[in-house]
């Protein structure tokens, strides 16, 4: 059993030594623990510091490509080097590395394929009340899209089994945290979570300037996942709303028209017809989205088989 612990880094030279203070060298039930740094175009000493700390595996991006792409390239590297489990943690020492042993345990025991460290956001002192509510709301929406029941969808402290990584395909540039859950949920991958306590904040978030940006970007990612995995939720809702908005004035016009008073109610006819066209379009988009979904399932099945061959152990 080989575990790769990967750390996303964008200029983390200052905090990496702190991260490695609690970084496990061995784990129960694991033969080999490897550390992997994803250097996403850092301009500080991240790489030199990591080498000094004993890291031997690196994925470099010459320029910044974003967290999601970094994660994907890290996973590719780990799988190519024989990883059975890939753990992800942050370079700002937000997560308790000493809990990695608990994160991988459900996978080693064969009870789950993805394990998420639940930060218990309601208890984090430096989160504002509003941020806590938004975290809960965000997780609720993700759970709805994924068909899961996870308390903390935005946590980046996770362990993934090899087989789950062969099935997951990251397509968004951003918010892969939410995306992986929604994909995993819809692909019926077993996900579980364990409660963790986060460390003291070392610096401000670099991923988000403020909570609004966070909400906007997460919202986009969730919306896209909905269209990908549950298109009926969006297009049936839209279609029904348009249908009702269209039928009411349309029927109103018809009644008048049958009574010979149609000429005075053309507005109803125009508005009703426009809404009915909207309804028709929504249902047409539903059919297209559904066909695309079938296509994607076939493509993803191929990708999984290719990855299995590519990363054969
Ligand atoms: N690969 C990659 N990692 C990043 C990027 N920006 C931030 N990170 C890393 O992602 C992790 C989380 O970033 P952080 O600024 O702490 O955001 P937070 O999750 O909101 O606390 C840290 O390990 C960062 O070094 C990026 O553009 N690319
Ligand atoms: Mg952080």
CA dist., res. 22 & res. 198, Å (int): 13
Q: Can you tell me which residue has the tokens 């839209």?
A: 238
Cα-based angle 190, 194, 199 (whole degrees, multiple of 5) = 135
What is the number of other CB atoms lying within 10 angstroms of the CB of residue 83? 27
66 CB less than 6 Å from ligand 1? Answer: yes
Which ligand 1 atom sits closest to the C-alpha of 64?
27
Q: Distance from the CA of 90 to the center of ligand 1, in angstroms?
A: 7
Q: Which among 5, 185, 196, 221 is positioned nearest to 113, based on CA atoms?
A: 185
Give, using CA atoms, the residue closest to atom 11 of ligand 1: 90
DSSP letters, the chain, are -EEEEEEEESS-TTTHHHHHHS--S--TT-SEEEEEEEEES--SSHHHHHHHTT--EEEEESS---HHHHHHHHHHHHHHTT-SEEEEEETTS-S-GGGHHHHHHHHHTTS-SEEEEE--GGG-TTS-HHHHHHHHHHHHHHHHHHT---S-TT---EEEEHHHHHH----SSS-HHHHHHHHHHHTT--EEEEE--PPPP-S--SS-SSHHHHHHHHHHHHHHHHHHH-HHHHHHHHHHHHHHHHHHHHHHHHHHHHTT-GGGGHHHHHHHHHHHHHHHHHHHHHHHHHHHHHHHHHHHHHHHHHHHHHT--
36 CB less than 6 Å from ligand 1? Answer: no
Q: What is the pLDDT of residue 130?
A: 87
Which bound ligand lies closest to the C-alpha atom of 36?
Answer: 1
Question: Ion ligand 2 — residues with CB under 5 Å?
Answer: 92, 94
Q: Distance from the CA of 94 to the center of ligand 2, in angstroms?
A: 5
Whether the Cβ atoms of residue 135 and residue 127 lie closer than 8 Å to each other:
yes
Partner residues linked to 33 by β-bridges:
3
CA dist., res. 246 & res. 249, Å (int): 6
Which bound ligand lies closest to the C-alpha atom of 50?
Answer: 1
**pTM for the whole thing?**
0.90
208 CB less than 6 Å from ligand 1? Answer: yes
96 CB less than 6 Å from ligand 1? Answer: no
Q: Distance from the CA of 198 to the center of ligand 2, in angstroms?
A: 10
Q: Distance from the CA of 201 to the center of ligand 1, in angstroms?
A: 13
For 213, half-sphere exposure in the C-beta direction (CA atoms, 13 angstrom radius) is 7
> Domain spans of the chain?
2-226, 231-307
CA dist., res. 261 & res. 183, Å (int): 55
64 CB less than 6 Å from ligand 1? Answer: yes
Torsion of the alpha carbons at 38, 40, 45 and 48, rounded to the nearest 10: 30
Q: What is the pLDDT of residue 215?
A: 84
> Would you identify the CATH topology of the domain 2-226?
Spore Coat Polysaccharide Biosynthesis Protein SpsA; Chain A (3.90.550)
CA dist., res. 78 & res. 191, Å (int): 20
Give, using CA atoms, the residue closest to atom 12 of ligand 1: 90
Whether the Cβ atoms of residue 107 and residue 161 lie closer than 8 Å to each other:
yes
Per residue of the chain (313 residues), what is the pLDDT tens digit?
A: 999 999 999 999 999 999 999 999 999 999 999 999 999 999 999 999 999 999 999 999 999 999 999 999 999 999 999 999 999 999 999 999 999 999 999 999 999 999 999 999 888 888 888 888 888 888 998 999 899 999 999 899 999 999 999 999 988 776 788 889 999 999 999 999 999 999 998 888 888 788 888 888 888 888 888 888 889 989 999 999 999 999 999 999 999 999 988 888 889 999 999 999 999 999 999 999 999 999 999 999 999 999 999 999 8
Which ligand 1 atom sits closest to the C-alpha of 10?
25
91 CB less than 6 Å from ligand 1? Answer: yes
10 CB less than 6 Å from ligand 1? Answer: yes
Residue 233 is encoded by which pair of tokens?
């939720």
CA torsion sign for 244, 248, 249, 250 is: positive
Q: Distance from the CA of 206 to the center of ligand 1, in angstroms?
A: 6
Residue 103 is encoded by which pair of tokens?
């994160």
Query: What is the gyration radius of the CA atoms in the chain, in angstroms?
Result: 24
Pocket test for ligand 1, best of 90, 134, 155 (most atoms within 8 A of CB): 90
């Amino acid at each position: 059993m080989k575990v790769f612990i990967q750390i996303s880094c964008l200029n983390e030279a200052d905090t990496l030594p702190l991260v490695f203070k609690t970084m496990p060298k061995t784990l129960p039930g694991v033969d080999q623990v490897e550390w992997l740094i994803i250097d996403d175009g850092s301009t500080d000493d991240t790489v030199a510091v990591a080498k000094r700390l004993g890291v031997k595996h690196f994925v470099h991006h010459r320029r910044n490509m974003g967290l999601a792409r970094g994660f994907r390239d890290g996973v590719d590297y780990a799988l190519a080097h024989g990883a059975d489990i890939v753990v992800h943690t942050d370079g700002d020492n937000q997560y308790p590395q000493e809990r990695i042993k608990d994160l991988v345990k459900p996978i080693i025991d064969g009870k789950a394929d993805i394990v998420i460290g639940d930060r218990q956001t309601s208890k984090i002192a430096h989160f504002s009340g509003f941020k806590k509510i938004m975290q809960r709301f965000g997780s609720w929406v993700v759970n709805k899209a994924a068909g899961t029941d996870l308390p903390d969808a935005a946590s980046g402290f996770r362990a993934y089994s090899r087989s789950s990584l062969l099935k997951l395909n990251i397509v968004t540039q951003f918010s892969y945290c939410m995306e992986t859950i929604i994909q995993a949920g819809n692909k019926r991958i077993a996900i579980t979570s364990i409660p963790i306590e986060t460390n003291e904040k070392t610096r401000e978030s670099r991923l988000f300037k403020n909570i609004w940006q966070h909400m906007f970007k997460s919202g986009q990612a969730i919306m896209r996942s909905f269209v990908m995995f549950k298109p009926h939720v969006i297009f049936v809702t839209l279609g029904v709303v348009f249908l009702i908005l269209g039928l009411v004035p349309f029927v109103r016009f018809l009644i008048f028209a049958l009574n010979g008073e149609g000429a005075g109610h053309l507005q109803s006819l125009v508005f009703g017809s426009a809404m009915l066209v909207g309804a028709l379009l929504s249902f047409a988009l539903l059919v297209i989205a559904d066909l695309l979904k079938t296509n994607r399932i076939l493509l993803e099945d191929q990708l999984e088989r290719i990855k299995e061959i590519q990363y054969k152990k």
